[in-house]
Each structure stands twice: as structure tokens, then as C-alpha cells.
Structure 1
Amino acid sequence: MSDISRRPILGRGENLVEPITKNSVGGPKEYPRTYEEAKKLVREELVKVKKDIESIPLEKKMDEVVIAVRLNEKFLAKSYTPNSFFHALNVENVGSRKWVTDSGKESKLNFVKIKPNNIDNGLNLLDSIRTNSFKEDLRKIEEINLLNKNEVALGFDDTWDNGRVELVLHPYEEAETVLEKLFNLLKITKDHRSKIRYKAYEHGPIFVSINLSREELNSLTDFNPLRTVHPMDFELNSVFTDLISNKVNPPVSTFTPVKKVGVIDGGVNIFNPFFQQSTTQNYEVVSLPSDSFMTHGTNVASLILYGDLQNFQEGVAVPSPVIGVESIRVFPTADPSDIDLYESIDLIEEAVPKLGDIDVFNVSVGPKGSILDDDISRFTTALDQLAYDHRKLFIVAVGNSGMSQEPYNRIESPSDMVNGIGVGAYQIDSEGNYLRAPYSSVGLGREGCKVKPDFCEHGGSALYPIQVLGTEDYAMQNVQGTSFAAPIVARKAAELMLKSNDIGALTARSLLTQATSSEINEIDHEFGYGICADNVDDILLCTPNKVTIIYNNEMSVKNYAKLKLPVPQACGAKKIKISWTVVVVTPPNPLFAESYTSTAIEDALHPHEDKFNLYKNSRTIKRDVIDNSQDVKELINDGWKLGSIPASVTPNKFATESERRDDLKWDTVAKRSKVFQRNSLKNPFLSFHALDRDTNKTRVRYSVAVTIEALDYQGDLYQEILNEYPVLQPINVRLEQEIRTSIQGN
């Protein structure tokens, strides 16, 4: 019998998961032109691009040249990549990105490396290859050409004259040769070259951080190995007030927190008595700390340790923190007047894998400037890869550009990462209404994480600022900014893991998202999935008639799985609300900007195990195969085809790739809900389809949080679920007072 005064969420949902077989339903693809028309078009495009390649100066190209093969808008999916055509021309596919056609349709282009003499071979092959796959590939192609300059230089306004930029180069095995050409083109001396930071990722792009003038930028836009270039400015634009007298005292007891959050920021004054026992700083850039960066890092660490101090009384000793801080000081870099984020990223990539006992990292710093759909920064790629490889959760502030003119108010890197949480800020007005803080950057996110921010946390306002400790023990500050919303969420994520050993980084992300205040029907540009839950204990505990179950598992790509939803037959409620959040972690693919997420899970809810769809031509009808068995037999005899699994309430039949993207099918997070009449449910379940594209990974890790709520019900749903589904068990939970008692005892 469960303790009715303490009802932890239920774990071991993976015991309710089983494989299923589902037949795909679809029709033949329509092509925009006949094979003969396509052959003529491709021949003309190859002749033109050959001339364009010949006009590129030798100092601006490699032996293998990168060209863009642009596809018709009907062929977005990975399965439509014209691989037979690429094989015939002996080219290497080195990436893709979104392409908007002249008619405004969203499509994609593939970057391919080709030796120029292979174009002549390709022209000869057009008449000799007759395979269906080759013919179909030709019919997908719209254009074959080089990128134009406006497609290379992204995010520069007319006032930009000079500054630090990030170059993204196509992948070449001979990276040093590409860089040599680049530096020669820019007339960079050998002494200066040693000071330029770059990173060549295996099977990925080459990233370069460098200072350029407008003239140098213009000279690079037709450098063929260059994929994109964008500005990489940096500034701390959170709002700080002048120092005010500290009203609180350090903790009384001696303690060592057993769980820490990594704070990637400007450092912390670890000699301040408020931080001395709970903060360590083992990784630092070689440059000396600066006051402004350390103030920012200390303010962030204060929120991890103590939360908002606004409501603390004068003279009180703050409680011992249950969460500590591991500070990774990544600022200022070698030249404080020119912040080179690559120096910071190098240290992050070194430190994070070594900090095996830290699961949550807070990032409240990053480059200035809105994200760009056709370009992915090294910062974002690095954090996504670290999150995937080392099972870490990064909590990232979305930026404070919210008052800028659209589109310059869009979220900033690296909050566009797909394997982490991008946190926006809300504020509370004088009437108690929750509003987006005007400074908080807005979505959309990029493909793979369109809902950004993921959700919002209190970030402070002029009316209700956040109060934090400063670098010295005698002073504190009032602050505002998404920089201070993010660490409040990071603290909650770490608390979830501290309070239950059954919760890891991926589960914490699914629970935090599931517990937000909103249920999304349309993408919310300002709040994402809503407002973060205020109290971690509320996330971990159920009420008698609102029960959360967690499922943690992994599945093979291309396979289907069935997650049974434990709606008890004994429940007498008239209405049942089912809500769920699915979170996956994916290997990032920066070469393929429009398909950056390599894996995903397509989910659908099936409310009744006996109700199936039947299909004939373009018509669909639904029947109960038990109650209407005779009718179903007659329909099948009449040529109707019975679906392989029960009917779904999620409209994903015949979805095109574009529709899948609009429905967030490739996003790493999906949150949904629906209310049902109790009598319309019979052994409901979620079906999962593991999707993959452009990856050699064969498994998809996921975490699902499902909440079942009996509306206006006087019974005990929690106990009914445990009675009917004994494979589920309450997770082990220690509440905050127990943890504090344990810390004080030690």
C-alpha cells in the first residue's frame, strides 16, 4: 500500500514498452518534369557550372570543387537524396542546407565535392545510364551551381565594417592545405597565423575564428571551400544595478554539497565565505580574471547555490546549499578587448568530459547576434556533441535581444542546441500577470528544436528584480536578464537528480518540460512550452488523481515501439486527460543544417485497441474490429485495406517531409495532450517510430514523461494504477528537508 501523504511519480515505465510492426502507407511520388525534360535541364546546368568553376581563380579553389545541387521542394527527405546521380558523377556529398526557391517554396540543396573533369564524364553518362534510380534522381534536380555571395556571408548588416567572424569551411581531409590557401588569400603572416584559432571536426566542418575587415570579407565570399561566414560579436548585456549592502549572512554550518552544477562563465570568487565551502574552480583560461566577468559568474553561481535572495529578511543566515558549483572560468580570453570564443570553447571541450560527476551545466554567456537557419556555430555544435557523448544536460540562456527589431530579436547561440534547454525569461506585472520579459529573445529555433525557448523562468524586472550575491561578502546586486533565469532552471534540474537516483539528465529534461504551465497547440515564439514549475518537489510528487509515469529506454532506428499508457479499468472517472513529453538525444550533424538532428522519434497516441482505420484509394474510415467485425470483413472483401495497428488521434498519415517538419517531427522534444471520454479509451498506447538520416548511429535514447489525470474524480487514480500495473513502482525520492538534514548531519 502506498503512503497516501507522499506519492512519488512512478518509474519503470519501460516495462510497459514492447515492439510492434507497422506497415507504411503511401503512394507514388509526383515528379515536376518528365525524364527527357529533366535530362535536358541537368545537361544545361552541368555545362553552366563547368564554366563557373573554370572562372574561379586557382588561389580560391581546391582540386575538388564544391558545388550546390538544388532539389525540387517535393524532395526534402533524406531518402530523396539523389545518390545514384552522385555516384555516377563520382562526387562526395558533404552536407546540405535549406534553400528557398524563387517561388518562395522551402527546399534544400546538397553540397558535393567534384573533380572538374568528372563533369565531362557526367555529361557523357546522361545518355548511357538508364536505371530507374538514375532517371528519378534527374527528375528531382532544379539547379546545379555555385553559392552566390549572399548565401555565403550571413548576418552582416550594412553598418558592419570590421570585427571577429566565424568561418565555416567545407570538410576536407587536407584541412591544413585549405587553411594555407585561406591565410595566403588574406595575406596573413606566419607569425600571426599561430594566433588564429580553428577546429577541424572529424567528418565535420572546419571552423575558424578570425578578425576581418569588410574588404577582406568581400574577398572571401567566392572562396570555394567556404560554406558560410557570420559575425561573432560578444558582449555582456544583462542588467546590473550598483552594489548594495548585503542583507544576509553566510551559512552557519560546515557542509559539502554532494551534487554540483557546472557554471561555464566568467569565474567565481571562491574565497568569498558565501562560496568558499560550496564552490570549486579547477578549470580556467590562462588570462587573469576580470571584474565584470567575475561579477557575472558570481551572480550566476549565487542563484545556483541560494536562489533569488529577494525575500530573505535582513540579518538572516542563508541555508546551506543543497547544490554546489563547479566553476569553469572561460572569460576573459587572451585579449579582453577582443573576446575569442574559440579559446573558451576549447576549454569547455577539455573540461566537460573530465567532470564525470557533474550532470548539469549552466551557460549564461555566448556570442551576440541572432541564430541563422543556414548556419550552425561551433559553440552550438560543441555543446550538442558533448551532451550526446557524455550524457550531460546544458541549460542555456536564450539571450537578451528581445527588444531589438525582428529578426534581430531571435534567440542567440548556443541556446539553439537540440540536446539542451534554452531558457527565456518572464516577468510579473503589478497585477500578477506573467509576461515575457521584454529583453528575452524569442523563437523560432532552428530545424530540430523549433520550440525555443524551451520554456521560461523568472529573469527579473524593474518591478521585481532578482537579488544575488556579489564577488565580495559585504555587497549584493539586483539583476535582470535571461542570464539569471537559466541558473534557476539549472538548479532545479540538479535538484531533481539529487532527490532521486532514478532521474538522469534526459529524464530531468523531460520532467521539467512536462511540468511547464502550457500545453502547446501552436509554436509559441515567446514562452516555448510555458513557465517552468516553481517547486521541484511538485514535479516529483503526484496527487491522488494526477499521476506522472516516466519511461526511459532506447530503440533501434527504423523500428516501431508501443508504450502502454496505464489507464486503469477500475477508474470510474468520466473524463481522462493524457499528456506526454518525449525527449530524445541525437548526434548533431553540422554539415546538414536543415537536417541537423540525425535521429528523432515520431509519436502518435492510439486511444482504443479495437478501433482501426481502413483505407481505399484516398478515403479513410474507422471501425471497431470487435464490435463491427462483420462490417470489417465485408469492407476488406470490397477492397478496403485494414491498418496494421489501432487508429491514432495524431494526424500523421501520408505526411510529407515538409509537414513532418511543421509538426516538429524532427525536434528532440515533443509535448502534447488530449482529453478523452473514459469510455473512448481501451488499453491506450503511444506508438514510437525511430527516424534516422545521415548517420551511422543505430540506437535512439529517449525519455518520456506521461501524466494521466482523472478529471472531477473522487476516487484514487494513483492507487488504482499501482493495483492494475504492478510493474510500475514509485521512484525513490528524498525531499528537501531530508537532504538538508543529511547535509547538516555530515
Structure 2
Amino acid sequence: MNNFIVGYGETLTTKVDIGGGGGDKKHPYSISEAMKRIGSQLEEIISKIENKPDTECAGGKVVIKFIQHPSYLAKSYYPRKLFSAYGMEDIGSRAVTVKPEQWGVKKHPEAGLASCVFVSGEKSQYRKLLTDLTSNSLTRASEDVLRTLERIEYFDAAEKIKSIDTSGDSLNLEVVIHASADDEYVVRAFDDYASLNGGAVRREKAKVVGGLTFLPVSIPHGKEQILAKFAQLRVLRSIPKLRMNKPETLRSPVSNPVTLPNWNPDILNRDFKVCIFDGGLGDGNHIFNWVTEIVPAGMEGSHPEYLAHGSEVCSAYLFGPALGSDCTLGSPYTTVDIVRVISQGDDDPDLFDVLTRIEDTLKLKTYKYVNLSLGPNIAIDDDEVHVWTSVIDALLQDGDCLAVVAVGNDGDLPGDYGRVQPPSDMVNSLSVGASDGELQGWARAPYSCVGPGRSPGVVKPDGVMFGGAPHNLFRVYSPRIHSFVDTMGTSYAAPYALRVAAGIDAITDFNLSTNTVKALMVHSAKPDEHDLKNVGWGRFPTSPESVITCLDDEATIVFQGELENSKHLRIPVPLPASTDSTWVHLSATFCISAIVDPEHPLRYTRSGLEISFRANEDRFTLDGANADTKPFFSLGKLYPSEYELREDAHKWETTLSRHQRFKRSTLQSPVFDVKYHAREQGGTISEDLPAIRYTLILTIRAEGDNSIYNKILQENQTLQAINVRTRIEIKP
């Protein structure tokens, strides 16, 4: 008999009040030192901007950079009070590595991660700040902010220019402007400035996310340096091409006869809907019973390669890879829609039209699960968030839809060129790389893009799924030719992973949130000693049935609930007192959806969790602190040397997972204390953000005690094993 995972863990939780504290801050600079240093830097900047032409400054405003000392990354030190005191506006930030002149402590690294804040202000406002600074007329609040600064700098045009394709006479650029939906004057001013320099701005294609506006621009080669002088321009780069699979990817027909699963609409789940964004399906396919194609206006024409890719991605979702010598296909768990987002007549080099079709569909809130096996063919940038990531991540932040995204097929390129590609760096998605097999000895497929992702979102890919490799190809049923094809790519790994994720939802008679399904996938992933940057949390399971069952000596409990802003929630680990085991293994996976701020990559998520593990709920020291409080999660253990992370980076990740082993004698009423932190744009603390939904998947394994599952259910009457729909056969 199978033991199924247990639901309603949230009924065991309680709200608690936990005090906090900290010592006095040791400042690197005195106030007098700070005023002298920053004063000379500000004077130099003012001399640079005094003669900056009005055409380069929307609304007469100039953008400069305020770079804080690495000691002041905490949200309480965000320098907004200084800017508001002088009528300036902080419009974004990014992470930079800084070698300070001084540190406030004896033990310190040579360099540290710091926050670079972009500030927009009029020239007169900067002059006023300098006057007050040199005449000692600053308020105490402004002085306190100044001492947190390492330096201020002019935002030079050259550093705004990223990768540029100079092969043609005209450049097709993606330009990012510091302009929210209320800053139309900035976009108009940029349009006028670009026109003065021979450029053309496609304003009708603009994408606005938070405080950023993304625009496609064409301009003569050689004019990019001039364009970058526009004060509110943050970054410009060449528009990448669309990625699906590499052009040289092998696609070899296979002569085996095809036997499709029986069409039985009664066994297909209709409680939720699934969508694939791709090249379409076309007429003459053999999977019309399971797939509905949606063709937006103007997309009637298509290319055979696009249709082949779209139909095979659908096939990978419905049936998985063909297995064995007889090419057995799995049975679908759900039907699926495919939205045609690329077509034969699609000459959209900037991919803005493709993104718009995806965006328009997601806004309808029709689908609980979607798949993206396409995107911009460019590696992610730590400094800036791509328009695809920004737009789609914002649409997913309510947690109502889970997007499964292929990470790209350039993992065999050197260095950062092989990193994951947008929008697989989204924090509110499940990004999928490819493994070269499903049996023992598997590894990352050599083409599969690698991590790390951006922090927050540092663990990317989230995991890997079989996607084929030169020595072990992915055999997919191709509906357009009614035959099997041997191929490979993350394009097939992603829908295969989605098949399992949606299958978990389909076969369980339980209200699973998308966060919970994502958390279950991560929780079940097996790293098998592989490097995190290659496989993320590990190789995902190949069947939903394996996810929802427990081993004989373990119990997996699902906690789904809400966390209130700045409140503590105590989540007990329901380890029975009678557990008969020397060693107890705890595996925990937390998952939330987060509001995102693309203009602040360093503080990209506005929702975070502070998680403390207490091995003994009731054990306290003389000063009232819990003596058994330990960190359970630490990103430093994940990326200890190759990736620089802020000290509290783990608090702002949307997904955390870890396994630890404990001696049974050390665990007495163990608990997790969880606090939801919310921050405004840029990092200042917020008390106004609403409660968020969270998921914790907790597995308690007691080595050798095969009664633990029943003991947990008997001692906690509100817990219930999740029901499984009877149409699915669970194999022992």
C-alpha cells in the first residue's frame, strides 16, 4: 500500500512574537570625513553636468550614481531620505563590487558587494546639496546618509552600452529608459533626441514595467555613443534573435511504428488549463484530440520549422519521450492549448511582437500552467533585467500561474556566454535545463545553459530534465509526420518537466497552489553530487506518481498558507516523541511568489523570508534567546567562492531547499520560525504590502522507523493524506 503525501500542514502553525536586536553600527567614516570626501566628488560631477545640453536631459534632469559602502546593504540604510530632502528622485539601483578606502571593522574582505543607486535631479538641486554640504547646513538625517556613501559618480554614456552587433549599417537596439507609466515626458524627450540623431523609436511597441520603459530603436551605426548620452537612458544593447533550438540540432526520423495512447476524455483533468507558447500546430497533425491551437490575428501563415517545433513541444508535454525499443508513449494527464506566437511573416527582429502575444494571453488569467521553449538568444546580465524577464515575471507575481521555461542551448559556450537565457531567470517561474539521461550516471547535457542566475534568483536552472544528448537522443513523437524523431534540446526538457508538474495537480484530489507544485518539483529533485550551477536543485522526477508517494520510513507534509507582513509564523516539525531512530533527516523546501522590481536588480524581489530553525522550541538562554536557533538555509553553502552574494541574500530568494541530518536526541519539539519581510522599491522597509502565499514541503525521515507516517497522522488529527484520483494506477 502506498503512503501519499500529507496535506493541511498549515493547521499546525501558530503566530508568535519574537524580539530582535543588534549592536551599534561601526561606521567606516566619520560625518566630517564623509562630508569632505563626498563634497569634492560632487563638485567634480557638477562641473561635468553644468553644460550638458537640454536635449539630453528630460525635464531638465540629470542622472548620477550614489554608491554606498558595502557595510550598508541592509534595507534600513537605503538613502532615500537624502534624495527626498532635496527634491531628487531615486529611480533604480544595481549591484557593484567596491574596494572601499576604509572599513569600519578590523576583519574585512578586500572588496565587497555594494548598492549603486541611480538618482535623477535638476542641476540646481545638486548645487543646493553641495552648498549645504560645504557650509555645514545639512540636517542630521542627511549627514547620516552621507556617511553611508563610498562615492558618487557621473553616469557616463560608455558604461550604458552593452553588447552591440556592428555587422550592419543600422543598429536594432533594445533601449531601457528610466521612465514609469507616469513619465510620458521622458519617453517623448527621448524620442525627440533619437530623431535628432537619425534614430527611429518604435513607441507603439513600448513595454513599461515598474519604473522602466523598454523600447526598440533603430539608429545608424556609430550613433550609439551619442544616443547613450541621454540622461535617463539606463542601458542599450543589440536586440537578440529568437531562440528555439540551435540550427544544427540533429533531427533524425525513426522508422518505428507509432501507437498513440487511446483517446479517453474521461481521464483528462479539466480543473485547470495548460498553455504552450510556440510556433503553432498547423493542419494535418495527429494530436488534435488533445490540443487546441489558438492563432492570433495576423498569424495565419507559418513556417514548417516553427510548426514542427510547436507540435513536438506539445507532444513532449502530452506523452513525454518515447521509451524502449517499442517506443512506448505515456498517457496525457490534461489537454493543452498552443498559442502561435511566431509565424512565417514574422519579421520582428526585436521580439517585442512575440512578447506582446505572450503578454496578452497571460493577462487573460486563463491558464494555471504555461510552457516557454523559446526566448531571446542572449545570456542574462547581472546588472540589468531583460524586457522578457521583466514583463513576464510581473505577470506571474500573483502566484496564479506557473511558467515552465527552457534555459537555452548555449551551455557549451565559454564563461558567461553559456549562462541561462531570458526569461528563464525569472524568480516566479520554474526554469528547466537538460540532462543527458534519466538513469544512474546522468549529467548535464553539454548544450544546456548553466547558472548562476541573478541574485535574487541565484539558483538557476531550478533543475534539469532529460532533453537528449549526442549519445542519447530525445525520441519525440512528431505529429506532423506521424513518426518519431530523434533530437535534443532544452525545448523538450521543459515541456517534459511541465508534464510532471501538471500531472501532480491532475492526479491529486487536492487544491494545490502553483507555488506548491513548484515546491514539490524542487523538493523531489535529485542533485546526485552534481554542481549546482549545472543542474540547479537537481534532476526532476519523471512521473507525478513518484512525487506524491512517501518511502516507508518517511512522511512528506504540505504546508500551504499566508504570511502577514512583518509577522512571525511558527511551523512545527511534527516529529513523534516515540520515534525509534538514531538519525532523523529533515528536508525542507520553501516557495513564495514575489513582487518584482526590474529597475533594482540587486533588490529585485520585494518579498522575502527570514527562516530560523529551532531544534528545541522551549530551550532558552539566560538572556531569553533561543539556544538552539540555527540557520537551516544558506546560499553561501551553495555558491561559497565563485559568486559574490550579499550577506542576507537567502532572505530574498523565492525558493529555498535543503536537507539536513540530526541525531534524534537533539530534536525536542523542533520548529521553523518564519518572518515575512516586505520592502518598497529599492529596499526601504514597507508595512503596506499585503500578505503573501507560501508553501513549505517538509519531509521527516526516521531511519528504520517504518511507523513514523502513521504516528504523525495519529498524533495530528487535522492532517490528512492527499487523495489520489482513482483513474490513475499507482504502481508499487
TM-score, L = length of structure 2: 0.89
Q: How does 1:670-685 map to 2 (within 5 A)?
A: 670-685=656-671
Corresponding residue to 1:294 among 304, 307, 310 = 307
The CA deviation string for residues 615-634 of structure 1, in whole angstroms up to 9 with x for no partner, is xxxxxxxxxxxxxxxxx4xx
Q: Secondary structure at the match of 2:596?
A: coil
CA distance in 1, matches of 2:25, 2:531: 29
The separation in 2 between residues aligned to 1:560 and 1:84, in whole angstroms, is 28
Matched, 1:488 2:508: no
Question: Residue deviations 1:325-351, cap 9 Å, x none?
Answer: 111111138543x53321111111211
Contact 1:186 1:216 in 2 (8 A): no
Counterpart of 1:267 in structure 2 is 280
**8 Å CA contact retained: 2:313, 2:492:** yes
8 Å contact kept, 2:433–2:461: yes
Structure 1, 596-605 or 411-420: larger mean CA deviation: 596-605
Quick check: 1:347 aligned with 2:357?
yes
Q: In the TM superposition, what are the counterparts of 1:275-424 in structure 2 within 5 Å? A: 275-284=287-296, 286-287=298-299, 288-311=301-324, 313=326, 321-332=332-343, 335-336=346-347, 338-356=348-366, 358-389=367-398, 391-424=400-433
Distance 2:202 2:146 in 1: 46
Q: Find the aligned partners of 2:333 and 2:368 in 1 and give their Cα distance.
A: 15
2:680 is equivalent to residue 669 of structure 1 = no
| Structure 2 unpaired stretches of 5+ | 101-110, 638-643, 682-687
2:629 and 2:201 mapped to 1: Cα distance? 62
SS at match of 2:294: strand
1:691 paired residue number: 677
Supply the AA of the counterpart residue of 1:707. T
Report matched runs for 1:22-61 at 5 Å: 22-61=18-57
Cα distance between partner residues in 2 of 1:528 and 1:651:
15
Partners of 1:468 and 1:610 in 2: how far apart?
A: 56
Cα 1:136–1:325 shift into 2, 3 Å: same
Q: How far 1:497 moved relative to its partner?
A: 1.1
Aligned to 2:641: none
Once residues 312 and 547 of structure 1 are traced to their aligned partners in structure 2, the CA distance between those partners, rounded to angstroms, is 37
Q: What pairs up with 1:126-275 in 2 under 5 angstroms? A: 126=133, 127=135, 129=137, 131-156=139-164, 163-172=171-180, 175-187=183-195, 193=201, 197-201=205-209, 203-234=210-241, 235-238=243-246, 239-245=249-255, 247-253=257-263, 255=265, 257-259=268-270, 260-269=273-282, 271-273=284-286, 275=287
What is the deviation of 1:149?
A: 3.3
User: Kindly tell me: are residues 398 and 82 of structure 1, through their superposed partners in 2, closer, same or farther at Cα, counting changes over 3 Å?
Assistant: same
CA distance in 2, matches of 1:456, 1:510: 15
SS of residue in 1 equivalent to 2:4: coil
- Asked if the contact 2:587–2:658 (Cα under 8 Å) also holds between the matched residues in 1, the reply is yes
Equivalent position amino acid for 1:49 in 2: I
Please name the residue that 1:621 is paired with: none
Contact 1:68 1:110 in 2 (8 A): yes
Question: What does the per-residue CA deviation read over 1:95-149, in whole Å, with 9 as the maximum and x for residues that have no partner?
Answer: 1111222564321111122121112222233345564432211101122232223
Cα displacement string for residues 499-546 of structure 1 (whole angstroms, at most 9, x for unaligned residues): 1233121100111101111389x9711011111112211111123311
Q: 1:503–1:735: structure 2 CA closer, same or farther, 3 Å change rule? A: farther
Segment drifting more, 29-38 vs 192-201: 192-201
The residue number in structure 2 matching 1:619 is none
For structure 1, list consecutive stretches of 5 or more residues without a partner in the other structure: 615-631, 633-640, 741-746
- Sort the Cα spacing of 1:194 and 1:152 in 2 relative to 1 into closer, same or farther, 3 A: closer
Q: Which amino acid aligns with 2:174?
A: E
Q: 1:191 to 1:369 in 2, by over 3 A?
A: closer
Q: Is the 8 A contact 1:290 1:332 kept in 2?
A: yes
| Contact 2:464/2:493 (<8 A) preserved | yes
3-state SS in 2 of match to 1:186: helix
Shift of 1:216: 2.7
Secondary structure at the aligned position of 1:396 is classed as strand
CA distance in 2, matches of 1:189, 1:52: 22
Paired with 1:535 and 1:265, the residues of 2 have a C-alpha distance of: 24
Partner of 2:453: 445
Q: Number of matched residues?
A: 697
Which residue, 90, 94, 97 being the options, matches 1:100?
Answer: 97
Partner of 2:616: 608
Aligned counterparts of 1:186 and 1:81: Cα–Cα separation in 2: 34
CA distance in 1, matches of 2:185, 2:597: 24
What is the letter of the counterpart of residue 424 of structure 1? G
Matched, 1:703 2:690: no
Alpha-carbon deviation of 1:54? 2.0
Distance across 1 between alignment mates of 2:204 and 2:563: 43
1:474 aligns with 2:482: yes
Q: Return the alpha-carbon distance in structure 2 between the equivalents of residues 609 and 487 of structure 1.
A: 43
SS in 1 for 2:695: strand
Is structure 2 residue 69 aligned with structure 1 residue 81?
Answer: no
Q: 1:296 to 1:661 in 2, by over 3 A?
A: farther
Alignment-derived partner of residue 521 in structure 2: 512
Quote the offset at 1:75 in angstroms: 1.0
Q: Identify the range of structure 1 (305-314 vs 667-676) with the bigger mean alpha-carbon deviation.
A: 305-314
Cα pair distance change 1:645/1:734, threshold 3 Å: farther
Change (3 A) 1:734 1:493: same
Partner Cα distance (1:205, 1:735) in 2 = 50
Question: Residue 180 of structure 1: SS of its match in structure 2?
Answer: helix
Q: Deviations over 1:436-481 (max 9, x none)?
A: 1110111000011101111111010122211123252433321111
Q: What code does the residue aligned with 1:272 have?
A: N
Q: What's the secondary structure of 1:498's corresponding residue? A: helix
CA contact (8 A) 2:73 2:646 kept: no
Describe the shift of the 1:156–1:453 C-alpha distance in structure 2 as closer, same or farther (beyond 3 A). same
- State the shift of 1:642 in Å: 2.7
**Are residues 574 and 324 of structure 1, via their aligned partners in 2, closer, same or farther at CA, if it must alter by over 3 Å?**
same
Alpha-carbon RMSD across the aligned residues, in angstroms, is: 2.8
Whether the 8 Å CA contact 1:262–1:325 is kept in 2: the answer is: yes
Query: Offset of 1:269 from its aligned partner?
Result: 2.7
**CA 1:35 to 1:195, structure 2 compared with 1: closer, same or farther past 3 Å?**
closer
Q: Give yes or no for contact 2:201–2:215 (8 Å, CA) kept in 1.
A: no
1:91 correspondence with 2:88: yes
Which has the larger displacement, 590-599 or 93-102? 93-102
Q: What's the offset of the Cα at 1:663?
A: 5.5
Q: Give me the identity figure in percent.
A: 27
Q: CA deviation at 1:174?
A: 6.0
Deviates more, 1:283-292 or 1:33-42: 283-292
C-alpha offsets along residues 542-597 of structure 1, whole Å, 9 cap, x if unaligned?
Answer: 23311100101111222211100110112111211111000111011111111101
Q: For residues 146 and 736 of structure 1, do their structure 2 counterparts lie closer, same or farther at Cα, with a shift above 3 Å needed?
A: farther
- The 3 A distance-change label for structure 1 pair 47 and 488 is same
User: Residue 689 of structure 2 aligns to a residue in which SS?
Assistant: coil
- Among 8, 24, 28, the alignment partner of 1:12 is 8
In structure 2, distance between residues paired with 1:125 and 1:73: 26
- Per-residue deviation, 1:81: 1.0
Q: For 1:699-726, what per-residue CA distance to the aligned partner results, in whole angstroms no more than 9, with x for missing partners?
A: 222111000001133x411101011111
Structure 1 Cα separation of the partners of residues 7 and 182 of structure 2: 50
Q: After TM superposition, give the deviation of residue 690 of structure 1 in Å.
A: 1.2
Post-superposition offset of 1:187 = 3.0
How far the C-alpha of 1:221 sits from its partner, in A, is: 2.0
